[in-house]
Amino acid sequence: MDQQKTVKVIEVCLVQPPKGATPTSLPLTFFDLLWLRFPPSERLFIYEFPHPTSSFFDSVLPNLKHSLQLTLEHFLPLAGNITWPLDSPSPIINYVPGDAVSFTVAQSNADFNHLCSNFCEAKERFPLIPHLATSHEKASVLALQVTLFPNSGFCIGIPTHHAAMDGKSSTSFIKAWAFACSKLIESPSTSLSLPEHLTPFFDRTVIKDPAGITEAYVDGWLKNGGPNNRSLKVWETVSTIETEAVKGLFELTPSHIQKLKQYARSMLGMNVRLSTFSVTCAYVITCLVKTEQPKTNRVVFVFGIDCRSRLDPPIAPAYFGNCVAGQYNEAETKKLSENDGFIRALEGICEALVIAEGGILDGAENWVSSMHTMSEDRYFSTAGSPRFEVYSIDFGWGRPKKVDVTSIDRTGSFSLSESRNNNKGIEIGLTLKKHEMEVFNALFVQGLESF
């Protein structure tokens, strides 16, 4: 009989910023408010550590905790909570001395190599992500869990409140933490100086809102489940994933991407503007549509565009918070299911990207109200970005063996990152029912062979 897989919690503690930290309050911009009640974004960073358990508890864990404390001095809002004071027109992130980040230490007897493989059961990853506390009155911004797989490795589970930061910001925090940890291993210290590209920029005044988008979003949330609903409780799930679901990772190598672009140009013309993002998403969506065979007449693809360099004037790349605009395109389900579905999907994505260049915030005042009245169409969306370079995040014990966006299990999104093989390819993560994963895998592989 197989040994029952368990995750045993060893310790739950609170990690505070260093003493002397001052109270900090940040307003939520309309970019933040868009995600006010969305479920947390969740990621797993999995590292090899084939050493005795004693080495982990004597060296790795103390360094992770101490470096986290030093890093939080530069990221004080992450130790605080989102609140909505009665005298405030909109929610804020508030840190006061004494606030802290929940830090869980656990140990698992699950198969580490299976967890790191391209296919594993979705449910095996659930106990590796800590709960992010939210209530009607306040919501934590960040929680952490470090889980040891004795003599094999460890993983860091990180849920973050989506209204506090986008993927770029959360990744910059993790990179800063890893930088601090690596420096501690080299030389113990009680202070931390971050390089400029990892130093967060929190000034909310750079986000201009002459069209009153913030007020529109606040009004939308107050009426959602209202009247005057000031609840900060996040939606538990957007969709429910089956216990037999499988998480899969797929790779498009540079050669694959080049083939997709060449085929697209042969069909659409040499002057069409193509990107790795557009051909990747078009290919994944057509494989998904053929796998799932949605009963809906339309398929909608929603994706985010980083606005930091696109605002007028542009804002600092290190701006910490949310700064992503939503863009989408629609297509007939039947057309995506046909042999030229890839081309049809690609045309729509390219058109949406061109529209976004014309005005990145056009119609932004309607985003929240539109979200509350979403139709029954099949929606696909993305999480992550190859530009985040998540496989470069080294805490001092080597690059990640695997980075896994676990929150897509519940949202039905697919994740994008650079390839863990360090070959300039693209890694795609998605969660499907077991039989659907088998169909998708076959379509994904066979489709690439046909180009």
Q: Mind telling me the catalytic residues?
A: 162, 394
Within 10 A of 284 (CB to CB), how many other CB atoms are there? 24
Contacting residues for 227 by C-beta, under 8 A, at least 6 apart: none
SS3 for 399? coil
- Beta strands at 378-383 and 92-95: parallel, antiparallel or unpaired: unpaired
Where do the DSSP E strands lie in 37-117?
Answer: 41-48, 81-83, 92-95, 101-108
- Beta strands at 24-27 and 92-95: parallel, antiparallel or unpaired: antiparallel
State which H helix or E strand residue 189 sits in. Answer: none
Asked if 153 contacts 51 with a C-beta cutoff of 8 angstroms, the reply is no
Asked if 104 contacts 65 with a C-beta cutoff of 8 angstroms, the reply is no
Asked if 344 contacts 10 with a C-beta cutoff of 8 angstroms, the reply is no
CA distance 210 to 47: 46
CA distance 346 to 260: 10
Contacting residues for 425 by C-beta, under 8 A, at least 6 apart: 251, 252, 253, 254, 256, 257, 418, 419
Q: What is the 3-state composition of the chain as percent helix, strand, coil, each rounded to the nearest 5?
A: 35, 25, 40
Residue with tokens 């690609």: 346
